[in-house]
Structures are given as structure tokens and as C-alpha cells.
Amino acid sequence: MGSLSRGPRAQSCWEQKFGAPRQGALAPDARGLLRLELRDGLDAEHATDGLEGYSHIWLIWLCSLNGHQATNSKVRVPRLRGGRAGIFATRTPFRPNPIGLSLVRLDRIDGATLHLSGIDLVNGTPVIDIKPYVPWYDAPRPLAGEQPPLGGVRVPSWVPGAESLRLEVSFTSAAEEALSLHSNHNSTRLLEGEALKSTLRQSLEADPRPLYRWRRQQSGKESVAEYELQVDGMLASCRFERNCDGSENVVVTSVARLTS
């Protein structure tokens, strides 16, 4: 056993790991496409018949950017700023079997192409299964005496919730200008109109910095925290700033078209 067909590669506005949100829910405006190509004997349009009736689907995918399986039983948790938890207590892509699970919104189906939003997959990620989201099966049901909607659901205190702190994001006027030019001249990309700006904001609000660089900055080893983020064919430069009260914010300083 153990052999899987690789499945179609997702097209996504996330061009690289940095900036892609930890889960799709963190960037609801992010967009992607999945063009199904199935093995001989299977027909993609038949295989998705009825799927258009669902608003949300699960993607099960391969953590293909890792290059290797887990070599440690624990990983550092971004939200714990270095605290560690067991690999099975987190969604880390470094797992014994490097498989990812993402809930995404299914906007529409066009032939054999699924149009998705709220996606966290990096462009080119192989998707190995698609399942419909069925609330009755996929959301915990309260036991007798528990209150819905989340009666009886428990997560550890270090897991970020809806109320989780988000960084404040602002744009320089140069960046604003470049974004509005892009939205006017962009008919072939995944993010149309204002969606590039809001997707960029959603990515930065959730603080995509890798832990080791965040630590270098906190400890003063790295004075300027400039990052570059690729989204949907654009390169955004941004700067993480530390406020007097210890809180942080992000400024998008420039946005330019990626030349490939």
C-alpha cells in the first residue's frame, strides 16, 4: 500500500510559503483554482456532479514544499512564540505522513475547474482528495445538556481563536497607488479589483513571520524587519514596526509586478 496518485496541482494566489496563511480561514479573500485531471476511465465533470450544491469543501493535499517527513516529535508553535507542542497537537506540515487538510469555500464549478476562495495552499500544491463539507458530520455535535453551536468543543488555551490579536496593517501611498493600478489592469489573475489588497492585509494581520526571524528581531540581532511577499503575480515589500507599548504593526511600503 501507500501509493497515491498525485492528483491535480492547485493554482493559488499564494506564490510561496511566506505570506500564505496558516489556514484558509485567516484569508477569506484569497483565491485559487483546481483543474481536475483524473486517471483514465474517470471523468472530472461526472466526478463533481452534485458538488456545486455545497458551499464548502475539504481539500486533502500533500505538504510538497517540505521535502521530508517529520524528524521530530514536537514542533515550535508560532503562537507560543517558541513554546513546543506534539506534532499531532498542531497543524504543522512536518508530520509522519505529510498530509494537509483545508476547508475552503467553493465559489463555482466551471467544467472541470473548481473556483475556490479562503485558500491556504501554495501555488502548485498537489491535491489528493476533495470531499464535501457536511455540517452534520464535520462539526462536533453538542451532547445532551451542552449548548450549541460549540457545546462541548474544547481547544487548548494556546490555540488562537476568533478574538485572536491581529497586527494592524497600513499601506504607504506608493503602495496604494500600485495596488489600484494593478486592480485596473488585471483581468488574467486570480485576485480582481480590491481583492489583492484585502488578501495582502489578511495575510499580514495574521503575522506570517517565521519564528526564528521574529526572535532575531525581538532580541535585537536583526534591526530592520523588512519582508517581501509574493501574492498573485505581485511582489509586496513590508516592514514590521515595534510600537512604544511593545505592540507591533506592519506597513506595506511598495507593491510591484513580479517579473518572471
Report 97-156 residues binding its own copies (CB under 8 A): 97, 99, 101, 103, 105, 126, 128-141, 143, 148-150, 152-156
Ramachandran class of 140: left when φ > 0, alpha when ψ lies in -120 to 50, beta otherwise: beta
Contacts of 82 (CB under 8 A, 6+ apart): 76, 211, 215
**Shortest spacing between CB 34 and its own copies, in angstroms:** 10
Q: How many chain residues bind its own copies (CB under 8 A)?
A: 83
Residue choice 17, 54, 110, 210 for contact with its own copies (CB under 8 A): 54
Measured distance CA(257)–CA(184) in Å, rounded: 13
Please tell me the distance from the alpha carbon of residue 234 to that of residue 23, in angstroms, as a whole number: 21
Going residue by residue from 59 to 98, which x/- string records binding to its own copies, judged by CB under 8 A? -x-x-x----xxxxxx---------xxxxxxxx---xxx-
Q: What is the helix (H) or strand (E) element at residue 221, kind and residue range?
A: none
Please confirm whether the linkage preceding 149 is cis (ω < 30° from 0).
yes
Q: Shortest distance, CB of residue 219 to its own copies, whole angstroms? A: 26
Q: Which stretch binds its own copies (CB under 8 A): 5-13, 188-196, 199-207, 238-246?
A: 5-13
Give residues with Cβ within 8 angstroms of 166, minimum separation 6. 205, 206, 207
* Residue 220 contacts its own copies per CB under 8 A: no
Determine the Cα–Cα distance for residues 85 and 75; give it in Å rounded to an integer. Answer: 6
**Interface mask (CB under 8 A) for its own copies, residues 8-47, using x and -?**
---------------xxx--x---------xx-xxxx-xx
CB-nearer residue toward its own copies: 68 or 221: 68
